Amino acid sequence: MNILTKWLRSYLPELPVDDRQLAEDLTLRGIAVEGEFEASCGGKLYEMDITTNRVDAMNHYGVAREAAAIYGVPLKPLAAADPIAETQPGAGFPVRIEADDLCGRFTARIIRGVTVRPSTGLIAEYFTALSQKPISAPVDATNFGWLAMGQPTHAFDLDKIEGGIVVRRARAGEKLQLLDGTERTLVADDLVIADEKKALGLAGVMGGWDSRVTDETRNILVEAAWFDPATIRASSRRHLLHTDASHRFERGADFAIAPAANNLVTRLIIEQCGGDVTGPLVDVIIPALAAKTAARLPIKLSVTEVQRHLGTTLDGEGISAEIIERFLSALGCVLSRDAAANTWNVTLPSWRLDLEREIDLVEEVARVYGYNKFADTLPTFTGTVIELPHSSQESIIRETLRGIGFSEAISSTFVAEHEATAFGDAQSGVVAMGNPLSEEAGMLRPALTPGMATMLAHNLHRDVADVRLFELGTVFTGSTTQVQEATGLAIGITGASAATSLHSANDVLFYEMKGAIETLLAKFSGTVTFDAADLPTWIEPGRGARALLDGAPIAWFGELASAEAQRRKLRQTCVLAEVKAAILLTAKLRQPVSRDLSRFQAVQRDFSFVFADTVHWQQIASALNGLNIPELQRIAPVEIFRDPKGKAVAAGSYSLLTRVVFQSIDRTLTEEEIATWHERIVTALTTLGGTQRA
């Protein structure tokens, strides 16, 4: 937002610093001045970065209020916003709020006999300096209003209004042509300002074309209102309209300022265009919404708490009760002190909806005093550091995956609806956002796998061909009314792969993932097995598996389904895994056991057998381990051979070369022992249906 220092100084005649120092001091207090330029009206033009929670400072008077608090100088009241007496008698304009949960306040005032002309004077001067496009004096007056005091207002051509004003929800399918010339089809969740027959404008976003002020306008209705932030945000996103009005309303406008804003705009229109104020100001208030905004309950603030949190100041004097009162009063708070208890009851200003708790007031004191004026001291601490219940398991997960070459990543907490459906579990449910930032972030993630797929795609699209990532984070299931959180783990692999003696090029990534999961699960107590049952739809059919820990499913992994790969424009195979980390965090860790290294010679033997495709390595390894030979130290597959022509090895079968290693801790093995074990292994493999190759 752009701010003129000349305009600021009109509210602060006793400001003691120059524009450069003012910019530095505002920035140190969180009202950041990003750029400083010469202004055509004199003084400087500040380019400011105001955070979204500080809508009260998105205007000249709000920034002036901050400066007044910093320097302890008086802030001139907005005289132009004082009440206006009617110059012609008349009845107040009829206003009816039907959507009383979405519109908390609506003010209206009639001006008759205006002559619409271009703006002159301060409005024209300030608009030129701000590069604000002038339109006509009545419209410029409404824009001047939000630039001055932050409250959007609107001017209607009174003669285009049929009956009174009705603030209501739109009718589904209702059409409305807006000031930008576009016609919008409204939905029932939109809030509109209407008359008795038609919609006049999309509330809090943009006025309507038919009721706009033109050169022929002679009678004007000035409106200033308060609308529900979430409703305005949803309409703005739905219709892809981001306006100066919506920017403020969706962040929480000042409930109490509407009458003053109406007075300001009315006075400016009469000064620029002539005319008479007809009838009183109509001010319709919904008490329930006023109680949530302008009439919030006071907050109790303790001097001791402020001093405890903020600690020592550089001058050694600390934060006194007088400093606290001075700063908070300057920011608009009303303090009622209980001297005996050394506390205040603080009534919050209507324009600071971001203040909710005692600690917020403590922060305000620190901010206005200046964070750079506090000594660097550590807070006092008693007791001991308490380790989180599952920190050991979490640490093992991270250390293990990093140790085998994976990098930790963080993805968005939000996913699109189609991703939540594709990667979520219909039984567990998915959680929709009430007011999503966009369609691509409309749901809370039910799993980490969609984010992992997106991160792999992000790397591939930027020519990073080999990627190994994992993410440990929170996933959300249930419904909007009852959200359940759990810890999830996703692992992702992509990259060029070459065939090995055990696997084809197409299978290498899959088995790399299987090995990563085996390595991880080996850190926890329990028996790990694999099968291919009940795989989720995000895994390409026939290209996935699941891992079980003591017979219960713990992980699913496989190639990303072609539909999901095409949606992300992936150019190469990606293998993903989803692990139930919540189970691992409560599982017992396997305790490492150390053994003395044998000083005796190890003996290696190879066994070449042909097996049917139905015989898996897990069965072979289990059979050999089941022989209970203490000296059998290692079993490993070395080579798999298939004959596409079916000559050397029949179709539906494969040849497996298995290598075993024997070694004793206390003696040299004899030929007789090795021969006995050799025969037992041959018998076990034959029992599995294997045929020994010559």
Using the predicted structure, report yes or no on whether residue 504 has a pLDDT greater than 90: no
Q: What's domain 391-584's superfamily in CATH?
A: Bira Bifunctional Protein; Domain 2 (3.30.930.10)
CA distances from 594 to 316, 399, 597, 663 (A): 58, 20, 9, 16
Q: Are 165 and 195 in contact (CB under 8 A)?
A: yes
What value, to the nearest 5°, has the Cα angle with vertex 247 and ends 95 and 94? 5
Confidence at residue 413, expressed as pLDDT on a 0 to 100 scale: 92
Helix, strand, or coil here: 501? coil
Dihedral sign computed on CA atoms, order 433, 437, 443, 449: negative
Nearest alpha-carbon partner for 302 in 285, 319, 283 = 319
DSSP per residue, 144-170: HHHHHHS--EEEEEGGG--SSEEEEEP
Token code pair at residue 35 = 């750029």
DSSP per residue, 433-499: -SS-SSGGG-EE-S-SHHHHHHHHHHHHTTT---EEEEEEEEEEEE-SSSEEEEEEEEEEEE-----
Confidence at residue 387, expressed as pLDDT on a 0 to 100 scale: 83
pLDDT (mean) for 226-232: 95
Token code pair at residue 96 = 């009816």
What value, to the nearest 5°, has the Cα angle with vertex 56 and ends 51 and 58? 60
Nearest alpha-carbon partner for 448 in 386, 397, 393 = 397
Using the predicted structure, report yes or no on whether residue 381 has a pLDDT greater than 80: no
- What is the maximum alpha-carbon separation in the chain? 122
CA distances from 377 to 311, 363, 582 (A): 7, 17, 38
Q: Are 55 and 253 in contact (CB under 8 A)?
A: yes
pLDDT (mean) for 669-685: 95
Q: What's 57's DSSP letter?
A: G
Q: Estimate to the nearest angstrom the gap between the alpha carbon of 580 and the chain centroid.
A: 24
Q: Are 552 and 582 in contact (CB under 8 A)?
A: no
Nearest alpha-carbon partner for 331 in 354, 344, 343, 348 = 348
Using the predicted structure, report yes or no on whether residue 494 has a pLDDT greater than 90: yes
Dihedral sign computed on CA atoms, order 253, 255, 258, 264: negative
Confidence at residue 520, expressed as pLDDT on a 0 to 100 scale: 96
Helix, strand, or coil here: 596? coil
Q: Are 456 and 467 in contact (CB under 8 A)?
A: yes
Fold of 299-373: Phenylalanyl-tRNA Synthetase; Chain B, domain 1 (3.30.56)
User: Which residues, including other chains, have CB under 8 Å from residue 231's CB and lie 6 or more apart?
Assistant: 102, 189, 191, 203, 204
- For the chain, give every residue range classified as CATH 3.30.930.10: 391-584
Chain segment 164-202, per-residue pLDDT in tens:
999 999 999 999 999 999 999 999 999 999 999 999 999
CATH 3.30.360.10 fits 95-292, yes or no: no
Count of C-beta atoms within a 10 Å radius of residue 235? 27
Using the predicted structure, report yes or no on whether residue 513 has a pLDDT greater than 90: yes
The H-assigned helical ranges of 89-241 are 121-130, 137-149, 229-238
Q: Are 72 and 326 in contact (CB under 8 A)?
A: yes
Confidence at residue 488, expressed as pLDDT on a 0 to 100 scale: 94
Nearest alpha-carbon partner for 266 in 282, 254, 255 = 282
User: Is the model more confident about 142 or about 339?
Assistant: 142
The helix (run of H) or strand (run of E) holding residue 206 is strand 206-207
User: Which residues, including other chains, have CB under 8 Å from residue 650's CB and lie 6 or more apart?
Assistant: 610, 643
Chain segment 74-132, per-residue pLDDT in tens:
999 988 878 888 888 888 899 999 999 999 999 999 999 999 999 999 999 999 999 99
Beta-sheet strand order (sheet of 2-4): 2-4, 44-49, 32-38
- Residue 301's beta-bridge partner residues? 344
> Based on the number of CB atoms within 10 Å of its own CB, is 528 exposed (0-12), middle (13-18) or buried (19 or more)?
middle
Chain segment 341-369, per-residue pLDDT in tens:
889 999 999 999 999 999 999 999 999 99
pLDDT (mean) for 257-262: 95
Chain segment 405-434, per-residue pLDDT in tens:
999 999 999 999 889 988 988 788 888 887
Chain segment 57-80, per-residue pLDDT in tens:
999 999 999 999 999 999 999 888
Per cent of the chain over pLDDT 70 is 100
CA distance 17 to 23: 10
Helix, strand, or coil here: 505? coil
- For the chain, give every residue range classified as CATH 3.30.56.10: 2-76, 299-373
Confidence at residue 349, expressed as pLDDT on a 0 to 100 scale: 94
Q: Are 558 and 544 in contact (CB under 8 A)?
A: yes
Confidence at residue 439, expressed as pLDDT on a 0 to 100 scale: 78
CA distances from 358 to 319, 363, 407 (A): 16, 9, 41
Q: Are 213 and 139 in contact (CB under 8 A)?
A: yes
Question: Could you tell me the pLDDT band of residue 339, with boundaries at 50, 70 and 90?
Answer: confident
Selecting from 3.30.70.380, 3.40.50.300, 3.40.109.10, 3.30.70.141, what CATH number does the domain 603-692 have? 3.30.70.380
Question: Could you tell me the pLDDT band of residue 475, with boundaries at 50, 70 and 90?
Answer: very high
Nearest alpha-carbon partner for 532 in 541, 523, 519 = 541
Helix, strand, or coil here: 361? helix
Residue written as token pair 């550590």? 378
Q: Are strands 206-207 and 483-494 parallel, antiparallel or unpaired?
A: unpaired
Q: Are 28 and 89 in contact (CB under 8 A)?
A: no
Confidence at residue 647, expressed as pLDDT on a 0 to 100 scale: 86
pLDDT (mean) for 642-649: 87
Count of C-beta atoms within a 10 Å radius of residue 74? 11
Count of C-beta atoms within a 10 Å radius of residue 172? 11
CATH number of 2-76: 3.30.56.10
Whole-number mean pLDDT of the chain? Answer: 92
User: Which residues, including other chains, have CB under 8 Å from residue 102's CB and lie 6 or more apart?
Assistant: 167, 169, 191, 203, 227, 228, 231
> Based on the number of CB atoms within 10 Å of its own CB, is 239 exposed (0-12), middle (13-18) or buried (19 or more)?
buried
CA distances from 254 to 31, 257, 260 (A): 18, 6, 11
CA distance 588 to 396: 11
Confidence at residue 379, expressed as pLDDT on a 0 to 100 scale: 65
pLDDT (mean) for 246-262: 94
Chain segment 18-56, per-residue pLDDT in tens:
999 999 999 999 999 999 999 999 999 999 999 988 999
pLDDT (mean) for 233-250: 93
Chain segment 615-644, per-residue pLDDT in tens:
998 899 999 999 999 999 999 999 999 888
Dihedral sign computed on CA atoms, order 368, 372, 374, 380: positive
User: Is the model more confident about 172 or about 502?
Assistant: 172
- For the chain, give every residue range classified as CATH 3.30.70.380: 603-692
Chain segment 200-226, per-residue pLDDT in tens:
999 999 999 999 999 999 999 999 999
Q: Are 312 and 318 in contact (CB under 8 A)?
A: yes
Count of C-beta atoms within a 10 Å radius of residue 501? 10
DSSP per residue, 414-449: EE-HHHHHHHS-TTT--EE-SS-SSGGG-EE-S-SH
pLDDT (mean) for 381-390: 81
Q: Are strands 165-169 and 95-97 parallel, antiparallel or unpaired?
A: parallel
Count of C-beta atoms within a 10 Å radius of residue 329? 13
Question: Could you tell me the pLDDT band of residue 228, with boundaries at 50, 70 and 90?
Answer: very high
